[in-house]
Structure 1
Amino acid sequence: MNEFDKYYNGMFRQDIQTFFSKIPERSKHTFDDRKIFTVQYQTLTKDFDCLDFLDKEMKAFFGTALFFTVLVDQVCYSHYQDYYNKFQKLTRYPKFVGNSPSTDRTNFPPIDIFSAFNYSRDKEKMFNTENVEFWAVFNKAKPVMKKDTINFFKTHMNEIDGEEFWKKCEQELPYHP
């Protein structure tokens, strides 16, 4: 069990609940369905204090866990629509969306989660505050998420082949050594 495994299967659930307690109510459910949680891009940026409860190291863990959570949700929706309603009821994974009325119901690519953490509209904040570095945590996360994703489908939705599902996820992963 590596550090990411401990975080993802431990503190992440508490951290995401804390995060949702700090974001504006209108940002939590932009699809007009209270069962569908959304994370707007701006709530992850340096311009908002929604992540101030986490230190820089834990932001890397949280952002990486959020990336994989959103990715798995999007892969299921895109490639397994016949099973998506069941998947969504089991997971309640959040959607990652834009800020404006024209994009707050649009799923953004999960890779944009990483840039959001280091973005600010204020140039002073953008360039003079420490950035979150994700890649070390991300590389530790890949084998954990592969195992957890495959096991999820074996245990809860065996109508989907977990290995095949993970291959579709891998096609969306950014390359980093």
Structure 2
Amino acid sequence: MSIYDYAFRRLDGGEQPLAAYRGRVLLLVNTASRCGFTPQYDGLQKLHAAYSEQGLTVIGFPCNQFGAQEPGSAGDIASFCRKNYGVDFLMADKVDVNGAGAHPLWQYLKRQKRGLLGRPVRWNFSKFLVDRDGRVVARFAPFTRPDKLAARIEALLA
């Protein structure tokens, strides 16, 4: 299996195959609207604006597994992100990233790159960076600000 064998449901309800992003660098992030890390939406949007034309795709995956910090509906999430952070990068429908109900994509990501404390995602705004060939090349903890990823992203886009 590769990352391109997975798909997810977008916030608008449509099915989105990751194969559509073959040849692009991906930044996949589990997100939440009521988290201390929520201001990272701003940094993610800045990465999207700066690098999307060069081949970066940022995808947010709202998740309510950590402190119930993403309780809203798809419409609530989309409205919050757009109004407060100007988000126009792709957002998935709400997913679980851990446990028996974890989305298959997130099961795959965790198998590819362990975190500091093992495989489980420990909190909102964990980030996985995928190169143009679909390899998961890095995993970043929630406290890693998006602007700190710019050099890694630039290297993969070169």
What's the TM-score bracket when you normalise by the shorter of the two chains?
0.3 to 0.5
Q: Could you say which structure has the greater relative contact order, defined with CA pairs below 8 angstroms and 6 or more residues apart?
A: 2
TM-score, structure 2 as length reference: 0.32
Which structure's CA Rg is the greater one? Answer: 1
